Amino acid sequence: MTLSLLGISFIDILKNEWLGLIASAFILISFLTSNQIKTRIINSVGCVVFIVYGFLLPAYSTAFMNSAMLVVHAVFLTKYFINKRKGNIKIIEFEDKYRDDMIFMVLEAKNALGRVPRLNDDLLDISKHYFLCGDKFWLAIDDNDRVIGCIGYNKYDNDTAKLHRLYVKYNLKRQGIGTALLNTAEQYLKSVNFKYSVVHLGGKEYFESKQFYPKHGYAEYADGFMRKEL
């Protein structure tokens, strides 16, 4: 004889609780990832399991709330992948008309890192510090014609270029913008026969740089400096 509560077998309850534990594990894992796209995908899986769990108990409020959350994730991810396919991010050479928007983007990015948003002198006059030196500076522009990223370089020696000011708008990180900017700079450097690119990692608040550059082939060669053979 099987014990029951309100007509529901304790064995069935135990079986269903495994679903609840699995769903909770997916939700927990989703918050441990630093990439918001991965977070939403993994969280969506947890929502689906919670929906099934809610209907089996039954606990319809659980099923309803997770259904609503699943819709939110689906809308966001659909927009993200549509925009990604459209290639709505443009990488262009710096133009003076974007200067103030670029400066605003950089100050926001620094503030998000917990830094006092101090403005670097070279950003006030890109032409003087880059183009008139024979170097380059690029911007990432979204489909609203707003600056969402930047990168530049200066000649370090005959074989080496030093990268500067790789910033991405603080709320658009981990969406491929930084990689697109870095690739643009590296491809250009190859085309003009540089053999190496180097970057200074900055202080401890720039912990993201220490994760980003090794993923793209950079290795530390001196304290606080990384280099890549192009």
Residue 45, Cβ neighbours under 10 Å: how many?
17
SS3 4: strand
User: What is residue 195's predicted lDDT score, i.e. its pLDDT?
Assistant: 97
Six-digit token string for 227 = 């280099």
Distance of alpha carbon 75 from alpha carbon 50, whole angstroms: 19
Distance of alpha carbon 72 from alpha carbon 54, whole angstroms: 18
User: What is residue 134's predicted lDDT score, i.e. its pLDDT?
Assistant: 95
Amino acid identity of residue 217, one-letter, is G
Distance of alpha carbon 118 from alpha carbon 107, whole angstroms: 7
What pLDDT tens digit does each residue of the chain (230 aa) get?
A: 344 444 445 455 555 678 888 888 888 898 887 777 888 999 999 899 889 888 888 888 888 999 999 999 998 888 777 666 555 789 999 999 999 999 999 999 888 877 777 888 999 999 999 999 999 999 999 988 999 999 999 999 999 999 999 999 988 887 889 999 999 999 999 999 999 999 998 766 667 888 899 999 999 998 889 999 99
Distance of alpha carbon 193 from alpha carbon 230, whole angstroms: 9
Which is it for strands 196-200 and 160-168: parallel, antiparallel or unpaired? parallel
User: What is residue 172's predicted lDDT score, i.e. its pLDDT?
Assistant: 86
Q: For the chain, give the number of residues.
A: 230
Whether the full predicted model's pTM is greater than 0.75, yes or no, is no
Which DSSP letter does residue 217 get?
A: T
Q: In this structure, are residues 141 and 98 in contact, taking their beta carbons and an 8 Å threshold?
A: yes
User: What is residue 10's predicted lDDT score, i.e. its pLDDT?
Assistant: 47
